[in-house]
Amino acid sequence: MKSWLFRHPRFSLALLGLLAVAAWYFTRSSRSNTGGVAFAARRGPLDITVINGGSVEALEFQEVRSEVRGEPVKILKIVDEGYSVTEEDIRTNKVLVELDSSKMKQNLVNQDITFQTTMAGLTEAQQGFEIQLNQNRVDVRSAEQEAKFAYMDLEKFLGDRITKQLIDMLDLREQSDTNALAAAEAGEIHPQTNLPSTNLAPIAAISRPRPNVNFSKYARIDLLGDGVAKQELRKREDDLLVSVTEVNQAKTKLEGTQRLYAKGFITKNEFENDQTSSDKARLKQESSETARDLYIKYEFPKQAEELLSKYDKALRALERIRKEAVSKLAQARAKMRSAEQRYRIEKENRDELIVHINNCVITSKKTGLVVYGGQEQRWYGGNEPIRVGSQVYERQAIITIPDTTRMGVKLNVHESHIKKVKKGLKVRITVDAFPDDRLEGEMVKVGILPDSQNRWMNPDMKLYQCTVSIQGTRDWLKPGMSAKTEILIKQLPDVIYVPIQAVAARAGRQVVYLAGGKLREREVKVGEFNDEFIEIKEGLQAGELVLLRAPESEKKGGEEKKSTPESGSHKTAPSPAPAAH
């Protein structure tokens, strides 16, 4: 046979070409039918999970922050990172961090000098207020006595009835509120006007004009009361009455003497003496009458006017002194309150400075492992590492002491899965450093809003920060370790499922491609899925082989072709959600 082939080379070449064409056709047909690796559909339980990476953190921790206000301060001393704080350290107040307080101590010296000056000013203002308060009381009491005595002099002169009539007619009463000074002493200051809250008389009332009074009409015995004016007027009336009586007696005697003298019974000298006595009595009567009239017309109105003016002046002085007392006391109080406020501010600054100096020494308060920086600083990264000589700002976390007995995992869940994640879900945890030790946990916190830090870095990706608690304790579990979490959303007890990449979308339908023989496309109805498998509700039986990847022949120019569906295919099912990342 071999020799025959050599003798007929043309036939040999034709046979080889035929074999090559057959091999090419067989290979093309085999690839079109298989399309790659096949998978047998399975029936059994399926866990619906969400897989995420995260970082191990302590659920409870103590952050030691800088409590020094103002400019950043330098770290002078700090314990080594990883130092374990013990109960003995807490009892002995072991120093964990010491900050530079030299500048604050110098400021405290200057503050003490200012504080002592402020204290002296406060003492002076307080004493000045007490002096002014006592002086006001003395001045007002003296003015009240002057007004009282002036009223008594007026009443003594005119009597109580006329005095009361004049006071009512002229409205000579205290115009200022008698409680104004008491209100000022009590510190009842109106918040808007800074004046006592009582109603004061208008300033115009102090200079009000007083109408003239005709006192002559009161110069009557029956009108005047039992006062000096009545006694004085009665005396003059009595003098006039006595002089009238003497005039009548002298006149009667003169008439008798004249008859005796005419008959020659008395001498001329005796007659002239009686005549002189009669003239004296008449002159005395005229003098008494003139004195009474002058008193009524001049002396009585003058004295009454003087006493009334004295009382009016005393009232005006009392009003002025009361108002001056209120004003002076308000000024003294304002000065004292200003000094008190200045003292309070200086004292608060001094006390706060002392507190900040004390805060420069940070001692042990809680047992645990010392970690430099804060939780947020380790999570997002800090500007300057914590070390001796570095600057720390107010409220900046210097060290963190985590509670390693309660550890957890912080992770970011993509927005496509956040609706599935709820508190209380069970979580399987694998730490990258110890992959063989599987941990169990529980979802304890689910973010409500997307993480702001990640949103700023990548606005198109919305991640929600969640926290998983780890059950039990492990000595090897340390903050900052990388971990993988598998959140158990749901458990399907008995379903048919295939790998998620075996299901493809064709013209709005969900299809799989059956392996073996001629290429066949079958429409299926899908259900729940996880990162690896997807539930097949209808269209596929357990054990049927499906291709893990759609055949290349079903695509042209990046667009999917329509395939001939297998007979008895099911209705269109919704597209499965994308796999979690």
- Adjacent-strand bridge partners of 29: none
Secondary structure class of 400 (helix, strand, coil): strand
Question: pLDDT at position 351, please?
Answer: 92
Query: Is 5 or 357 the better-scoring residue by pLDDT?
Result: 357
pLDDT at 24 over 60: no
Q: Please tell me what DSSP assigns to residue 298.
A: I
Tokens (6 digits) for 151: 């009223």
Looking at the predicted structure, is the pLDDT value of residue 495 above 80?
yes
- Residue 142 banded pLDDT, cuts 50, 70, 90: very high
pLDDT at position 45 is: 93
Between 181 and 262, the higher pLDDT residue: 262
412 versus 458: the higher-pLDDT residue is 412
Provide CB contacts within 8 A for 176, sequence distance 6+. 200, 201, 318, 319, 322, 323
Cβ atoms 225, 249 nearer than 8 A: no
Of residues 31 and 20, more confidence is placed in 20
- Sign of the C-alpha dihedral, residues 58, 59, 64, 69? positive
Q: Where are the domains of the chain?
A: 70-99+360-401, 113-354
Q: Output the pLDDT for position 210.
A: 67
C-alpha span between 326 and 145 (Å, rounded): 19
pLDDT tens, position by position, 211-232: 788 877 887 887 787 888 888 8
Residue 448: alpha-carbon gap to chain centroid: 26
Q: Say if residues 443 and 411 touch (Cβ distance below 8 Å).
A: no
- pLDDT at residue 29, rounded to an integer: 39
What residues contact residue 246 under an 8 Å CB cut-off, 6+ apart?
281, 284, 285
Least confident of 33-37, 228-232, 359-363, 576-580: 576-580
Q: In percent, how much of the chain has pLDDT > 70?
A: 81
Residue 534 is predicted with a pLDDT of 93
Instruction: Give residue-wise pLDDT tens across range 229-283.
Output: 888 888 888 888 898 998 898 888 888 888 888 888 888 888 888 888 888 888 9
| 511-527 confidence digits (pLDDT tens) | 999 987 777 889 999 99
User: What pLDDT, on the 0 to 100 scale, is given for residue 552?
Assistant: 66
pLDDT of residue 510: 92
pLDDT tens digits for range 459-481: 778 899 999 999 988 888 888 89
Q: Which residue has the higher pLDDT, 254 or 581?
A: 254
Q: Is the pLDDT of residue 482 over 90?
A: yes
- Tell me what the mean pLDDT of segment 130-141 comes to: 92
Query: How confident is the model over 296-348, as pLDDT tens digits?
Result: 888 988 998 899 999 999 999 999 998 999 899 999 999 999 999 999 999 99
pLDDT score, position 334? 92
CA distances from 254 to 117, 137, 263, 282, 418 (A): 99, 71, 14, 12, 144
The DSSP-derived string for 183-239 is HHHHT-B-TTT-SBSSPPPPGGGTT-------GGGG--TTTS-SSHHHHHHHHHHHH
Q: What is the pLDDT of residue 557?
A: 39
Give one DSSP letter per residue of 444-469, joined into a string: EEE-SS--HHHHHH-TT--EEEEEEE
- Report phi then psi at 364, rounded to 5: -75, 130
Q: Which tens digits make up the pLDDT trace of 29-56?
A: 344 444 468 899 999 999 888 888 999 9
Q: What is the pLDDT at residue 376?
A: 59
Q: Which tokens in the block code for residue 444?
A: 């304890």
Report pLDDT for 554.
58
In this prediction, residue 553 carries a pLDDT of 58
